[in-house]
Amino acid sequence: MSAKFSISKFFGTDYDQDEEYYDNEPQVETSDKVVSIGKNRGHESSKIAVFEPKIYADVKTIAQKLIDNNAVIINFDAASDEATRRIIDFLNGVIFTIDGNIERISELVFLFTPHNYSVDGDIRKEMNDRLR
């Protein structure tokens, strides 16, 4: 190898002088499998956060929990009607974005879940009967 600078050596296109080096390297087989480099959500523990917001500004913390893949139970007893409407409207957009779901547990208690949660039970039927 010469000490002289070469563009082809710099970009790795000059294989003539380094062929012996590459012949001794083990061959690595490539695979067509796609592997996620992000967090593996299947191994994380599922969490449920409980909130009792008083003002609309509390919605940022609640939305972040949903985005972080946590279920959220919200009790709106302490919030005004206006704040409750605004919080539910905002979280409805968050739920739509993450493909989640909203369940009404009681008149002022809601369950917001990300897309990978499923809720079982007859609470919806009982709730519909009570609200009629």
| b/e per residue 53-76 (b: at least 16 CB within 10 A) | beebebbeebbebbeebbbbbbeb
Between residues 131 and 5, the one the model is more confident about = 5
The pLDDT of residue 96: 94
Between residues 25 and 56, the one the model is more confident about = 56
The DSSP bridge partners found for residue 48 are: 71
Strands 101-104, 48-51: pairing kind: unpaired
Does position 59 have pLDDT exceeding 70, yes or no?
A: yes
The pLDDT of residue 45: 63
How far apart CA 107 and CA 89 sit, in angstroms, is 16
Average pLDDT over every residue of 48-57: 91
How far apart CA 119 and CA 111 sit, in angstroms, is 9
